[in-house]
Structure 1
Amino acid sequence: MRRLALLAVLLGLGSAALALNAERVLVFFFDPTQVAPTDPRLSEQVWQGPGDARLVLWLAPPRPGKPTILYFHGNAGNLAARAGRFARILDHGYGLVAMAYPGSSGSTGELSSAAIQRLARALYDTLPDLPGMADADKVVLYGESLGTGVATELAAELAPDASPAGLVLEAPYTSILDVGKRAYPLVARWLHYLGNPWVSRDHITRVTVPTLILHGTADRVIPPDMGQTLFDLSPAPDKQLLLVQGAGHENVWQPAAERTLYAFLDRL
């Protein structure tokens, strides 16, 4: 209800204000607190991105022959909130580059969906120059919730000549607009003011790299039929959908999901 009230205020201020603020009201709920990683295998770096962006990254190099995960997190919390899953990723020898969006984890810069997408591409292009990443020759894009739109659009941008080794989508949506129309039906007509609606149902049709989709059957935030739709639309010859029975939006990492993820990564 608070979000709807805020949106009503923005509507009263006019479309210009809405265009500037709709994403911050409806989409981004990051924790700006910068917390250094406690896992000694992880290092924290500040990456100078395009423009005035300064992004906090958590990094760990891969073991020989293992892929590196370029991780795009969801729309809430910070990198420290994901420390547990990062530790399990490192336990299996995978490299990690976790990007904190502007407004999250101490990162600064323009906070908008368009800016996040530009930063994701720039980071991908410069990844080999990051500390310990010179030998990270197999990069897998991993999107969590909000980050699935970032990862899918980036994979589509890179196709076919600079495609990543694979794509993993956890609790993905068909587009931000589709999610918003379900969550905010009373103000659905205003959702077109979102700067980049991350239309994954279009972008996925250009992605042919190995793709894994993980979605909880009890997800009430992003319904599992959206994950099914993306799977059906994907032209990837090697694609897999795991519907995690009983899992909601934030607990997809059940044992079956982890086993499936590691098996997928190990065969790339």
Structure 2
Amino acid sequence: MKLALNLLLALAVFALVAATLLYTQQRRLIFPAPADYPQAPPPGFRLVHTQTDDGLRLSAFYRPALPGKKTLLFFHGNGDNMLGAIEATRGPAAAGHGLMLVEYRGYGGNPGSPGEADLYRDGAAAMRWLAGAGAGVDSRGIVVVGNSVGSGPATEMALRHDVAALMLVSGFSDLPSVVKSRVPLVPRWLVRDRFDNAAKLARVKAPVYLMHGDADTLVTPANLDRLARARPDATVARVAGVGHELAYTAPAQAILTKWVGGLR
């Protein structure tokens, strides 16, 4: 009996230590910022800086839209940076649309550490910059696009502002569901950052567009299903045979460019 009690106590202590480590260290796993990042903007872009409401100066890449074209405010995935963002927006760029490629705190040489509320601050800083003297873009001319974890700040910005459209590529319904699908033993309450996009979509006033690869094993198509149920009038594109790399593929660029070009 005493041995059984000692074993249970040891298991409880182990579980507590494991849960504590997972809770405190999980953002290192969720936000693995690449060590390599572009030091200078590519041709056609310029380096700009936004100011967050908690005092951080963040870098971003910007190129203005041609007359009559929209401006995309793009939020990249958690393992990416502005190099990938350029690749994931090459279609709309070639069509003459403007681009504001947001770089998060803790990424691309920026100060700070990322978290859900922090990414929302970074997005808000980018919206302010676009509206200000730097670009003078009306919010109704902005298409907010989020890839993977970028679906979180993208949805939040579309909820807060009167934008032209919200477009999510390989987006989450919510982060705890993604974690649970990958690691079933992790309880939902242990995931600190929620990114509960599905709970917000019904309150987004702008048109919503959802694109997902049906072979995505990281953010599974079940996320698309939950997002579509949350926003029944959304335009949905389910791309056959493509995984989580969807945003960088030619089919995704064609769809994204068509969607943005069709906005009025």
TM-score (norm 2): 0.85
| C-alpha distance after superposition, 1:76-108 (max 9, x if no partner) | 032123333344332111111111111211111
1:206 Cα deviation from its structure 2 partner: 1.0
Distance in structure 1 (CA, Å) of the matches to 2:129 and 2:104:
16
Q: 1:102 maps to which residue?
A: 105
Instruction: State whether residues 174 and 227 of structure 1, in contact with CA within 8 Å, keep that contact through their aligned partners in structure 2.
Output: yes
Q: 1:243 maps to which residue?
A: 238
RMSD, matched Cα: 2.4
Mapped pair 1:151 → 2:148: no
Which of 224, 228, 238 aligns to 2:225? It is 228
Q: 1:12 maps to which residue?
A: 17
Distance in structure 2 (CA, Å) of the matches to 1:170 and 1:112:
20
Where 2:88 maps in the other structure, the secondary structure is: helix
Mapped pair 1:43 → 2:46: yes
Which of 89, 92, 101 aligns to 1:89? It is 92
Which of 184, 196, 199 aligns to 2:196? It is 199
Letter in 1 for 2:202: T
| C-alpha distance after superposition, 1:161-190 (max 9, x if no partner) | x3211001000111000001111112x12x
Q: 2:129 maps to which residue?
A: 126
Q: 2:162 maps to which residue?
A: 163
Q: 2:4 maps to which residue?
A: none
Structure 1 residues 9 and 30, CA, compared in 2 at 3 Å: closer, same or farther? farther
Q: 1:264 maps to which residue?
A: 259
1:136 Cα deviation from its structure 2 partner: 5.1
Q: Kindly tell me the number of residue pairs found equivalent between the two proteins.
A: 250
Mapped pair 1:180 → 2:185: no
Where 2:202 maps in the other structure, the secondary structure is: helix
Which ranges of 4 or more aligned residues in structure 1 deviate by more than 6 Å?
none
Structure 1 residues 212 and 11, CA, compared in 2 at 3 Å: closer, same or farther? same
Which of 17, 21, 26 aligns to 1:22? It is 26
Distance in structure 2 (CA, Å) of the matches to 1:45 and 1:169:
24
Query: Equivalent residues in 2 for 1:55-94 (5 A)?
Result: 55-94=58-97
Mapped pair 1:54 → 2:57: yes
Distance in structure 1 (CA, Å) of the matches to 2:22 and 2:251:
42
| C-alpha distance after superposition, 1:17-74 (max 9, x if no partner) | 654432223x111114341355310111232322242212010011111111111110
Structure 1 residues 24 and 10, CA, compared in 2 at 3 Å: closer, same or farther? farther
Where 1:33 maps in the other structure, the secondary structure is: coil
Share of identical aligned residues, percent? 26
Distance in structure 1 (CA, Å) of the matches to 2:255 and 2:213:
14
More deviation, 117-126/51-60: 117-126
Distance in structure 1 (CA, Å) of the matches to 2:133 and 2:228:
32
Which structure 1 segments of 5+ residues have no match? 1-7
Structure 1 residues 10 and 43, CA, compared in 2 at 3 Å: closer, same or farther? farther
Letter in 2 for 1:167: L
Structure 1 residues 262 and 174, CA, compared in 2 at 3 Å: closer, same or farther? same
Instruction: State whether residues 62 and 136 of structure 1, in contact with CA within 8 Å, keep that contact through their aligned partners in structure 2.
Output: no
Distance in structure 2 (CA, Å) of the matches to 1:10 and 1:101:
33
1:196 Cα deviation from its structure 2 partner: 2.9
Structure 1 residues 106 and 241, CA, compared in 2 at 3 Å: closer, same or farther? same
Which structure 2 segments of 5+ residues have no match? 1-12
Where 2:77 maps in the other structure, the secondary structure is: coil
Where 1:110 maps in the other structure, the secondary structure is: coil
1:253 Cα deviation from its structure 2 partner: 4.3
Distance in structure 1 (CA, Å) of the matches to 2:131 and 2:205:
23
